[in-house]
Structure 1
């Protein structure tokens, strides 16, 4: 598996599949590239898909030091540099969407088109999950089931016994999970969002309470020219359960940008 060297020398593992214009797919907090495995094929026929293992996950190095969404964005740039790519389309979900915001703010020349999924501008200005949900997620006896139900509808869970790809990288050291949590919690891109000039689509499950759906309109109002789409009935993992709606929406958006 290839690795890129980040600014600080940390080795960032990445994976490339498909052919065509590059499309970087960014996973959620404490997850590695397998987050995209169930739907990656939706994009591979038209795009060269690029994923990475966040520092602290997968085959990447796992330094025990401060992580940040700004730093994660720099790691993505290191991957693009290693591949010799001047720019790429970017589709980030959950924490990956937070990283996508910083890519478009700090590295606008590297992002051709941006899709932000089930994400927020950060706690300082965004809509946060309830205290009830927070308490449930820190109960070891309930964490996995609660997270699963935040991701998917009960009907989908009943029909799909797993494996599930969005519940976290089980190989992560505990310190790295803590570093990811802090990085995501401290994300605040609010001041920089109006400077984004990249064409942007914001997607969100209408029934998402993990990252409340109201964040979608908040982001699209803050980013010039952005458009928000809510997917009816979908929760946090809208991109997986509702792939028949979400993936075509992303592909149509990207195609429109490249025709323009």
Structure 2
């Protein structure tokens, strides 16, 4: 389990925070936790989510690492430029990530990206390879012609206008039947409620337009690909494709894991991540 446990406070009071200004007039809210002189670990969260995505697993990651996160444009404490429908992309979010690392004087970091954050992590490793020491990609996909998208039933459930019904459906996408009751209440993975509809739509388009399939073989840092075996939000079959396309990548699948497997099964996943980064 995570150090904080299900339903715990997100621990923002313990975070070291700052604002990084962007060249186009935006601002990025940045958070750190862990020893300032520890090996840096950049955390990249899922679509339409702020740094609170990591709140249930961050303490364990920060025991030895200087963990770094930031709120994507349109989420949390970060600002536009509003709205980036035509401009925001996994590449632009990766450029923001590189800017954050520069602002913190971090030359190179381990990078852990989940869901859309895994797509952003791919682009960071491709567009800014000097910034990435080791790469962990969880519950994510390559995009483009190599990606397998969620099926029509999942898309209909995600589009349900009835929020209580949609919330129950989304909890089932993230957690196993046994885990839903324990991890569903207060889950930090179900979206940033402070986002505008326009910003949420821009995030959706940025994630959907991701396409690294022609470039994945150019990723040359050690890479670990992880996925839950029962993920239908981002179908599990995307994981072996990523592992095959990225030279030397390792693949780890977690039985019973769904889209939030990295939180529900943190007692398995987090040690595996830390061991990989420590090599």
Same fold (TM over 0.5): yes
Aligned equivalent of 2:54 = 36
Say whether residues 1:122 and 2:147 are aligned partners: no
Aligned equivalent of 1:64 = 83
Q: Give 1:161 deviation, angstroms.
A: 5.2
Name stretches of at least 5 consecutive residues in structure 2 with no aligned partner: 1-16
Would the aligned equivalents of 2:144 and 2:213 in 1 still touch at CA under 8 Å? no
1:101-120 matched pairs, under 5 angstroms: 101-120=122-141
1:9-158 matched pairs, under 5 angstroms: 9-19=25-35, 20-62=38-80, 63-65=82-84, 66=86, 67-141=88-162, 142-158=165-181
1:108-257 matched pairs, under 5 angstroms: 108-141=129-162, 142-160=165-183, 162-256=185-279
Q: Give 1:196 deviation, angstroms.
A: 0.5
TM-score normalised by structure 2 residue count:
0.90
TM-score normalised by structure 1 residue count:
0.96
SS in 2 for 1:172: coil
Give the number of aligned pairs. Answer: 256
Question: 1-side partners of 2:218 and 2:183: how far apart?
Answer: 41
Would the aligned equivalents of 1:152 and 1:237 in 2 still touch at CA under 8 Å? yes
Question: 2-side partners of 1:252 and 1:32: how far apart?
Answer: 26
Q: Give 1:158 deviation, angstroms.
A: 2.1
Name stretches of at least 5 consecutive residues in structure 1 with no aligned partner: none
101 and 13 in structure 1: CA distance in 2 versus 1, 3 angstrom threshold: same
Would the aligned equivalents of 1:97 and 1:119 in 2 still touch at CA under 8 Å? yes
Q: Give 1:145 deviation, angstroms.
A: 1.6
Q: Give 1:209 deviation, angstroms.
A: 0.7
Would the aligned equivalents of 1:116 and 1:203 in 2 still touch at CA under 8 Å? yes
Quick check: 220-229 or 150-159, which moved more?
150-159
Would the aligned equivalents of 2:46 and 2:53 in 1 still touch at CA under 8 Å? yes
Moved over 3 A (4+): none
Q: Give 1:124 deviation, angstroms.
A: 2.8
Query: Alpha carbon RMSD of aligned pairs, Å?
Result: 1.0
82 and 118 in structure 1: CA distance in 2 versus 1, 3 angstrom threshold: same
Q: Give 1:9 deviation, angstroms.
A: 2.9
